[in-house]
Amino acid sequence: MTETMGTWPETIPAAAKAAAERWPYAVGLIEGEKRWTFARIWADARACASAMLNHGIGHGDRIGIWAPNCRAWILAALGAQIVGAAIIPLNTRFKGQEAADILRRGRAKLLFAPQDFLNTDYPSLLVDEDLPDLLGIIRTDTGFDTFLAQGKGSDDPAVDEAYARLSGDDISDIIFTSGTTGRPKGALATHAQVVQTFGDWSVRVDLHEGDNYLIVNPFFHTFGYKAGWVTCFTRGATIVPMAMFDGAEMVRQIEQNRINFIPGPPTIYLTLLQELAGDKPRDFSSLRVAVTGAAPVAPALVERMRQELGMSNIVNGYGMTECGVISMTCQGDDAETVAHSCGLPMPGLEVRCVDEEGRDVPVGQAGEFWVRGHSVMKGYLDDPKATAEAIDAEGWLHTGDIGTLDTRGYLAITDRKKDMYISGGFNCYPAEIEKLLAAHPAIEMAAVIGVPDERMGEIGKAYVVLRPGQQADERAIIGWARENMANYKVPRRIAFIDALPRNAGGKVLRTALRDLD
């Protein structure tokens, strides 16, 4: 397969502007019963940019967005990016201390968060946190229109002046991702990287002009943001955001809005198949493309999606925050390839599979994937040491993922050099979870591993050593964890042991923990 890099707008706002000029009257966004054209989205984004300027946000600043998928999320992002500010997306599952840590280190000047989502007042979670750079919090559900009105509107000439300064080399976003150190690190991406990478992605996965794209993946994640609403501007597809995954709402959206394109983990397609098998007639005839990843998918499921859901194009892929998308399968690949492969590298990317000494391994032999090219992050925020550990002097990003390359050049992930596991589509890093668990008053130390789970793919299991004289049971620790960390990080199983197995150097032997099951 021969692919070349496409020609795309230089920045994310430029992509939104181009969409407004090319498809001014086409519906660009559907939220509830309301619809906005691409021209209106661009006008509203400019009005948001004017409000940003009125609040002192300008080139080089940063804002946080801690909200579910919604129109306000997109406008806040575009408004900030138009004036040259970078966005810091925050996981809606975060607790206050997790969000505050990222906002502090990112030096965010404004935060956009809902007053009521999942029965939670998000701003109230930060009341006791020290956030010296934060100038204010805009409530996305109750205060966003008031915020817009505080600017000078979409025709504000100051917006044109700010937008003229924006370039593809400016930082568009800082997405925090955890690692083996146990502390999240902010990956820096530029506008040109995002639009190029995900414009090319939209071609590989066959996103069409006029498609209705149901975005189930959260906007705080690369999959929902960059491979989500950004690509809709590059291709002229309609953004249909879902605030959270809900099977009944997903079915309603597909039938009412004639959804064509729906990415996500295998769980969502199993939900649709179950709906088809139910008593109520369902019309899923509009579905055309499924993009899956982040969890294994069985060949039988791929065939059922094609035959029963009528999805003619099913693709699987591999990516990471530090590099966006790395590889994707191709249109027409057979079920075995989609199920067991992550596809071919994206245009413009080099991928190597190497041994411990950095030497290329033979075809079919497992090694670590190294990636080099335009989509590799600029580095980690304020962390040159971690950056140097991740990206070597020749520009190769050491992914920490173990896999193979076949004779066609297709990648397959077989293991993770990092201890990360994926639960319900979310990356979970044991070192980070262990650090959080260590704050429990009864826990001396803990080690976390991912164990198989039919519904979530994997779930966390914590092996806990209690402090002398302390007592705790599984239910109590899980309950405490739910109050102190994002839900997807919470271990679902707890095992109490006297001591953690370690090697001669004192490192915990996770393989030995697995043998205890």
**For residue 119, what are its two tokens?**
């029965």
Name 350's Cβ contacts closer than 8 Å, sequence gap at least 6: 371, 372, 373
Residue entry with tokens 């959080």: 436
| 143, 116 Cβ separation under 8 angstroms | no
Distance from C-alpha of 352 to C-alpha of 368, rounded to nearest angstrom: 8
Q: Render 251-285 in DSSP notation, one character per residue.
A: HHHHHHHT--EEE--HHHHHHHHHHHTSSS----T
> Would you say residue 504 has pLDDT above 60?
no
Residue, of 89 and 180, whose pLDDT is higher: 89
| pLDDT at position 290 | 95
**For residue 55, what are its two tokens?**
């609040």
- The chain-wide mean pLDDT, for the chain, equals 92
> Would you say residue 482 has pLDDT above 80?
yes
Domain range spanning residue 147? 10-244
Distance from C-alpha of 48 to C-alpha of 84, rounded to nearest angstrom: 13
Q: Render 7-76 in DSSP notation, one character per residue.
A: ---SSHHHHHHHHHHHSTTSEEEEETTEEEEHHHHHHHHHHHHHHHHHTT--TT-EEEE---SSHHHHHH
3-state secondary structure of 427: strand
Encode pLDDT of 452-465 as tens digits.
Answer: 888 888 899 999 98
Distance from C-alpha of 211 to C-alpha of 232, rounded to nearest angstrom: 9
How many angstroms separate the first and last alpha carbons of the chain?
44
Name 462's Cβ contacts closer than 8 Å, sequence gap at least 6: 433, 434, 437, 446, 447, 448, 477, 491, 493, 494, 495
Q: Is residue 24 part of a domain?
A: yes
Q: What is the CATH number of the domain that holds 459?
A: 3.30.300.30
Residue that is last in its domain, among 195, 223, 244: 244
| pLDDT at position 180 | 46
Residue that is last in its domain, among 244, 277, 306: 244
Encode pLDDT of 151-163 as tens digits.
Answer: 999 999 999 999 9
User: Using alpha carbons only, how large is the chain's radius of gyration in Å?
Assistant: 23
| 212, 237 Cβ separation under 8 angstroms | yes
Q: Is residue 379 part of a domain?
A: no
Q: Is residue 371 part of a domain?
A: no
Q: What is the CATH number of the domain that holds 227?
A: 3.40.50.12780
Residue entry with tokens 């997903």: 250
Total-model pTM: 0.86
Distance from C-alpha of 200 to C-alpha of 410, rounded to nearest angstrom: 17
Encode pLDDT of 211-236 as tens digits.
Answer: 999 999 999 999 999 999 999 999 99
Sheet strand arrangement including 443-453: 443-453, 457-466, 493-496
Q: Is residue 321 part of a domain?
A: no
> Would you say residue 33 has pLDDT above 50?
yes
Cα 327-198-83 angle, rounded to 5 deg = 145
3-state secondary structure of 345: strand
φ, ψ dihedrals at 311, nearest 5°: -85, 105
| 212, 236 Cβ separation under 8 angstroms | no
Percent of the chain residues past pLDDT 90, beyond the cut: 76
Distance from C-alpha of 251 to C-alpha of 152, rounded to nearest angstrom: 40
Lowest-confidence range among 10-19, 70-79, 177-186? 177-186
The string over 17-56, giving b where at least 16 C-beta atoms fall within 10 Å of a residue's C-beta and e elsewhere, is bbbbeebeebbbbbbeeeebbbbbbbbbbbbbbbbbbebe
Distance from C-alpha of 486 to C-alpha of 428, rounded to nearest angstrom: 10
Section 392-400 average pLDDT = 96
Q: Is residue 129 part of a domain?
A: yes
Q: Is residue 102 part of a domain?
A: yes
Domain count, the chain: 2
**For residue 105, what are its two tokens?**
């280190």
Residue that is last in its domain, among 221, 244, 267: 244
The string over 391-421, giving b where at least 16 C-beta atoms fall within 10 Å of a residue's C-beta and e elsewhere, is beeeebbbbbbbbbbeeeebbbbeebebbbb
Q: Is residue 475 part of a domain?
A: yes
**For residue 372, what are its two tokens?**
């080099």
Predicted confidence band of residue 75 (pLDDT cuts 50, 70, 90): very high
Lowest-confidence range among 8-22, 75-89, 284-298? 284-298
**For residue 237, what are its two tokens?**
């597809």
| 441, 409 Cβ separation under 8 angstroms | no
Q: Is residue 147 part of a domain?
A: yes
Helices then strands, counting H and E runs in the chain, come out as 17, 25
